[in-house]
A and B are shown apart, each in its own frame.
Chain A
Amino acid sequence: MNSLIRPTFWPEGLSRNLLGVAVLLVLWHIAASALTGSYMLAGPTAVINYLIAEHALIGRALAVTLQNAAWGFLAGNLAAIGLALLVTLLPALRLPIGAVALVVFCLPLVATGPVLRVLYGPGPGPQITLAALSVYYTTFLPLLVGLRAAPGSWFDLITLYGRGAWSTFIHIRIMASLPYLMAGLQIAAPAAFLGAMVGEFTGADRGMGVLALRAMRGLDVDATWTLALVAALVSMIAYGAIGLLAAWLGTSKPDILLATAPAKTSGNVASVLRSVTFVLATIVLILISWWVAMEAFALSRFFAKRPDDIWRYLMTAPDASANRAVLWAASQATLVQVIPGYLAGLGVGAALAMLLMLRPGLSGAVLPVAIALRSVPIVTTAPLIVLALGRGAAGTITIVAVMTFFPALVACMQGLRQAPGQVLDVMRLYATTPLARLWYAQLPAMLPGFFAAARLSVPAAILAVTVAEWLATGRGLGALMAMTASTSDYNLLWSAIVVVTAGASIGYALVGGVERLILSRLAPEQLKP
């Protein structure tokens, strides 16, 4: 219970963090000087000059984007809270709602943006919706854990007085889940801003996304970096502010942020059959919701495709095989880049977390760099990274890796700290090396966090790769979606959405399967019975 009382927010050693910021500024200046004339990186002075010259313009755009992000943040988190409460009070709904929520989270923003633009017409609708879509799942998941995370004796206490689920909910679950909710909101704040910016790429008339798109198209390096840094700064401030709010509320960092994948009970025929039935039922549920949503708003079949349109386009139409070939080629091009980037990001994140565990002194210098890298919105810097590393695989792979390494780093650091202190003390008694302690005690404790990050990074990696393809390389599914959106080839666009969403969901499930396999060998106690 004492762990519930730990102070929470980030600035632990402010002076060390300041050192990190200083190191970052110097590195930035050196890099910018070295790259002068290559149209890749604007130095600190160029950014400040641009900021002074265009502060009115940027201020107005920022106000618009912040407003859209705030509405999306509100809507997405309210949806997450509503879903989590529903699932907690009606546990039978947990699996179907969880599955549909995941699939919706896997929708590619790059393609849903243009579709939403057509559906909403002009105005802030798509921006707000995309912001909401990018936050609700990362709030829903920890909240779901938080609503269950309390010592058994607290629940016994409620039962003891003859009270039921409602009292448990009012007196225990709501308060016990607060730290988890705050952690979810903290992750959500930068994500909402990013979602709103992507929404503005799809033909909005005002906002940071509009400015960023214009700067990218014009290869205006100063403007691009200034906008990216302003966006990064806003994200960091929002992240920090929610951390302070959590500290003020007296909540603490939850010990385990994300649930581990439920253990497979057994490999017998009945349970396999049940899993298959569940997956099929989920697919049917999603197809029906899709169809009902389109019909309910009486949306035109020209741009609002139904499941049967896609089936016809890919399976029964005369040119179905050609259509499939286009999609398959684009999928291959994307897979070749997203998989190495995803694995590299996870690997670097885990390795960095272990390094910081062995050499804690480095964290003051490393963490600010990591946070800054994560906060700089990938959508604005993707074209510049590609420009720097070339249109080949390296650029896209790097972007995907940057997108996935930070969640892995944070989750692994949190996991490494979960190793029981007494076990470490026992090992110290035998004068074990830090490396041995890492291997025998801390690494097993790290695995659940690592896999939780790995699962959540699947949609993030796909967002990164599709954005890079759309804005920079012009290959793969991202480019295909952007191209079909602009040529109004809605059959192909919706088919691509289906492919990406299905791919992300399958990827998520695959990572869950690998997680079960590895945890059942190495740390079976971490799997839920």
Chain B
Amino acid sequence: MAEQILAPGPEIACIKLSKTYGYRDTEVQAVAPLSVTFQAGRMTALVGPSGCGKSTLLRMVAGLEQPSEGQIVAGDKSPQDMQRAGALAMAFQDASLLPWRSVRGNIALARRLARLPADPRAVDDMIARVGLAGFEKVRPAALSGGMRQRVAIARCLVTQPRVLLLDEPFGAVDELTRARLNAELPPLWRATATTSLLVTHSIREAVSLADRVIVFSSRPARIVGDIAIPSEARRDRSVHLALVEKVSAALSGGWDEAGRAENLAAQ
């Protein structure tokens, strides 16, 4: 596929964003008023204890949930504008493939939903790039967990999204597969200068993949660490380890502050 030269993805600004859920009588604040900017064309990793609201933040950026207060602006667009422009893509923790469609069918569907012209060659090319050549006609049920996530990533990338949202996409696969996916897939989206957000539980994954790691406290999420990851972290092992330590420290600081023992126990 002849790679189109695309402008970098937009800068995403979250302004005084908060999200409150009402469960009958009790109100749960998932995200406290939060202002943060994600740089254009870069990948930002969001780490934090389970249930701190980072997935909710991601879903609000995707326009899947409405903020209770505040707003999100991507470039000059709202999340809904980006949806309509076919500029978004998202990978979920389970691959969320439609079981009645083949690998090819699942990936082609994304282009169709995004109102892009059908392009069988682009689809097959993307299948080859995620390492699934030969599996075009296979249904998801016959694939392993790692292969399904490859399909999910291919489905994200085939529309050349300007904003890529990854919600623990490798959370459900084993360590070895995860390492391979982490090595093989990121170059695919790094090349396209997409603005990406990655929610992950793995500090090592965050440091390996992202340009910046934002650390959240337990619910309601506040930013307790904001760590830039220079590109040498991907080459120099000692730099990498030092950054992993730094993120870990920020994370445990956030816990101690909130005094939530169950998060420590869960880890």
**Which A residues are within 8 Å of any B CB, using their own CB?**
1-2, 4-5, 151, 153-154, 156-163, 167, 171-172, 175, 178, 250
Please measure, in the bound complex, the distance between the C-alpha atom of A50 and the C-alpha atom of B135, giving whole angstroms. Answer: 58
State which residues 203-229 of B face A: CB under 8 Å. Answer: none
B residues less than 8 Å from A153 (CB atoms):
92, 94, 96
A residues less than 8 Å from B253 (CB atoms):
none
A residues less than 8 Å from B85 (CB atoms):
162
**CB <8 Å contact, B94 and A162:** no
Complex: chain A residue closest to B100, CB-CB = A175
Q: Which of A154, A162, A167, A175 contacts B86 (CB 8 A)?
A: A162
**CB <8 Å contact, A157 and B113:** yes
B residues less than 8 Å from A154 (CB atoms):
96, 98
Q: Which of B63, B86, B92, B115 contacts A159 (CB 8 A)?
A: B63
Please measure, in the bound complex, the distance between the C-alpha atom of A4 and the C-alpha atom of B94, giving whole angstroms. Answer: 15
**CB <8 Å contact, B114 and A172:** no
The secondary structure that dominates the A interface is helix
B90 at the A interface (CB under 8 A): yes
Please measure, in the bound complex, the distance between the C-alpha atom of A157 and the C-alpha atom of B109, giving whole angstroms. Answer: 10
B residues less than 8 Å from A5 (CB atoms):
99, 141
Complex: chain A residue closest to B88, CB-CB = A160
Q: List 18 A–B pairs whose Cβ atoms lie within 8 Å, in order of A's numbering.
A: A1-B141, A4-B141, A5-B99, A153-B92, A153-B94, A154-B98, A156-B90, A156-B92, A157-B113, A159-B83, A160-B62, A160-B63, A161-B86, A161-B88, A161-B115, A162-B84, A171-B113, A172-B98
Inter-chain contact total with CB atoms closer than 8 Å: 61
**Which B residues are within 8 Å of any A CB, using their own CB?**
59, 62-64, 80, 82-86, 88-90, 92, 94, 96, 98-100, 109-110, 113-115, 140-141, 159
**CB <8 Å contact, A1 and B99:** yes
Closest 10 CB pairs of A and B: A162-B83, A162-B84, A161-B113, A153-B96, A5-B141, A153-B92, A175-B100, A161-B114, A156-B64, A4-B99
**CB <8 Å contact, A157 and B86:** no
Please measure, in the bound complex, the distance between the C-alpha atom of A167 and the C-alpha atom of B86, giving whole angstroms. Answer: 14
A160 touching B90 in the complex, CB below 8 Å, given contacts A2-B141, A171-B113: yes
A160 touching B83 in the complex, CB below 8 Å, given contacts A153-B92, A167-B113, A171-B113: yes
Please measure, in the bound complex, the distance between the C-alpha atom of A175 and the C-alpha atom of B85, giving whole angstroms. Answer: 26
Instruction: Say how far B12's CB is from chain A's closest CB, in angstroms.
Output: 15
Please measure, in the bound complex, the distance between the C-alpha atom of A157 and the C-alpha atom of B107, giving whole angstroms. Answer: 12
B residues less than 8 Å from A4 (CB atoms):
99, 141
Complex: chain B residue closest to A249, CB-CB = B100
**CB <8 Å contact, A161 and B110:** yes
Please measure, in the bound complex, the distance between the C-alpha atom of A131 and the C-alpha atom of B262, giving whole angstroms. Answer: 59
**CB <8 Å contact, B100 and A157:** no
A residues less than 8 Å from B109 (CB atoms):
171
A residues less than 8 Å from B115 (CB atoms):
161
Please measure, in the bound complex, the distance between the C-alpha atom of A136 and the C-alpha atom of B238, giving whole angstroms. Answer: 69
Please measure, in the bound complex, the distance between the C-alpha atom of A160 and the C-alpha atom of B159, giving whole angstroms. Answer: 12
Instruction: Say how far A255's CB is from chain B's closest CB, in angstroms.
Output: 14
B residues less than 8 Å from A158 (CB atoms):
113
Please measure, in the bound complex, the distance between the C-alpha atom of A156 and the C-alpha atom of B61, giving whole angstroms. Answer: 13
**CB <8 Å contact, B94 and A1:** yes
B residues less than 8 Å from A162 (CB atoms):
80, 82-86
Instruction: Say how far B256's CB is from chain A's closest CB, in angstroms.
Output: 32
Please measure, in the bound complex, the distance between the C-alpha atom of A264 and the C-alpha atom of B59, giving whole angstroms. Answer: 30
**CB <8 Å contact, B100 and A250:** yes
B residues less than 8 Å from A175 (CB atoms):
98, 100
A160 touching B98 in the complex, CB below 8 Å, given contacts A2-B141, A171-B109: no
A residues less than 8 Å from B82 (CB atoms):
162
Instruction: Say how far A352's CB is from chain B's closest CB, in angstroms.
Output: 33
A residues less than 8 Å from B110 (CB atoms):
157, 161
Complex: chain B residue closest to A175, CB-CB = B100
A160 touching B80 in the complex, CB below 8 Å, given contacts A1-B99, A4-B99: no
**CB <8 Å contact, B113 and A163:** yes
Complex: chain A residue closest to B64, CB-CB = A156
Most chain B beta-carbon neighbours within 10 Å: one of A158, A159, A172, A250:
A159
A residues less than 8 Å from B92 (CB atoms):
153, 156
Complex: chain A residue closest to B109, CB-CB = A171
**CB <8 Å contact, B99 and A151:** no
**CB <8 Å contact, B99 and A160:** no
Please measure, in the bound complex, the distance between the C-alpha atom of A41 and the C-alpha atom of B256, giving whole angstroms. Answer: 79
Instruction: Say how far A162's CB is from chain B's closest CB, in angstroms.
Output: 4
Please measure, in the bound complex, the distance between the C-alpha atom of A151 and the C-alpha atom of B84, giving whole angstroms. Answer: 22
Please measure, in the bound complex, the distance between the C-alpha atom of A189 and the C-alpha atom of B159, giving whole angstroms. Answer: 45
A residues less than 8 Å from B90 (CB atoms):
156-157, 160
Instruction: Say how far B10's CB is from chain A's closest CB, in angstroms.
Output: 16
A residues less than 8 Å from B140 (CB atoms):
1
**CB <8 Å contact, B113 and A151:** no
B residues less than 8 Å from A160 (CB atoms):
62-64, 83, 88-90
A residues less than 8 Å from B159 (CB atoms):
161
Please measure, in the bound complex, the distance between the C-alpha atom of A314 and the C-alpha atom of B189, giving whole angstroms. Answer: 76
Complex: chain A residue closest to B85, CB-CB = A162
Most chain A beta-carbon neighbours within 10 Å: one of B88, B89, B100:
B100
A residues less than 8 Å from B113 (CB atoms):
157-158, 161, 163, 167, 171
Instruction: Say how far B153's CB is from chain A's closest CB, in angstroms.
Output: 14
Q: Which of A2, A151, A167 contacts B96 (CB 8 A)?
A: A151
Complex: chain B residue closest to A2, CB-CB = B141
Most chain B beta-carbon neighbours within 10 Å: one of A5, A151, A159, A162:
A162
Please measure, in the bound complex, the distance between the C-alpha atom of A40 and the C-alpha atom of B71, giving whole angstroms. Answer: 78
Instruction: Say how far A193's CB is from chain B's closest CB, in angstroms.
Output: 31
Please measure, in the bound complex, the distance between the C-alpha atom of A392 and the C-alpha atom of B62, giving whole angstroms. Answer: 68
Please measure, in the bound complex, the distance between the C-alpha atom of A159 and the C-alpha atom of B90, giving whole angstroms. Answer: 11
A residues less than 8 Å from B59 (CB atoms):
156
A residues less than 8 Å from B62 (CB atoms):
156, 160
Instruction: Say how far B73's CB is from chain A's closest CB, in angstroms.
Output: 17
B residues less than 8 Å from A161 (CB atoms):
83, 86, 88, 110, 113-115, 159
Instruction: Say how far A500's CB is from chain B's closest CB, in angstroms.
Output: 39
Please measure, in the bound complex, the distance between the C-alpha atom of A161 and the C-alpha atom of B82, giving whole angstroms. Answer: 8
Complex: chain B residue closest to A4, CB-CB = B99
Instruction: Say how far B193's CB is from chain A's closest CB, in angstroms.
Output: 20
Complex: chain B residue closest to A1, CB-CB = B99
B residues less than 8 Å from A178 (CB atoms):
100
B residues less than 8 Å from A171 (CB atoms):
98, 109, 113
Most chain A beta-carbon neighbours within 10 Å: one of B63, B99, B114, B140:
B99
Please measure, in the bound complex, the distance between the C-alpha atom of A11 and the C-alpha atom of B132, giving whole angstroms. Answer: 37
Please measure, in the bound complex, the distance between the C-alpha atom of A172 and the C-alpha atom of B96, giving whole angstroms. Answer: 12
A residues less than 8 Å from B98 (CB atoms):
154, 171-172, 175
Instruction: Say how far A434's CB is from chain B's closest CB, in angstroms.
Output: 32
Instruction: Say how far A153's CB is from chain B's closest CB, in angstroms.
Output: 4
Please measure, in the bound complex, the distance between the C-alpha atom of A510 and the C-alpha atom of B231, giving whole angstroms. Answer: 67
Instruction: Say how far B176's CB is from chain A's closest CB, in angstroms.
Output: 22
Complex: chain B residue closest to A150, CB-CB = B98
Instruction: Say how far A92's CB is from chain B's closest CB, in angstroms.
Output: 21
Please measure, in the bound complex, the distance between the C-alpha atom of A172 and the C-alpha atom of B114, giving whole angstroms. Answer: 16
Please measure, in the bound complex, the distance between the C-alpha atom of A4 and the C-alpha atom of B100, giving whole angstroms. Answer: 10
B residues less than 8 Å from A163 (CB atoms):
113
Please measure, in the bound complex, the distance between the C-alpha atom of A455 and the C-alpha atom of B110, giving whole angstroms. Answer: 41
A residues less than 8 Å from B114 (CB atoms):
161
A residues less than 8 Å from B84 (CB atoms):
162
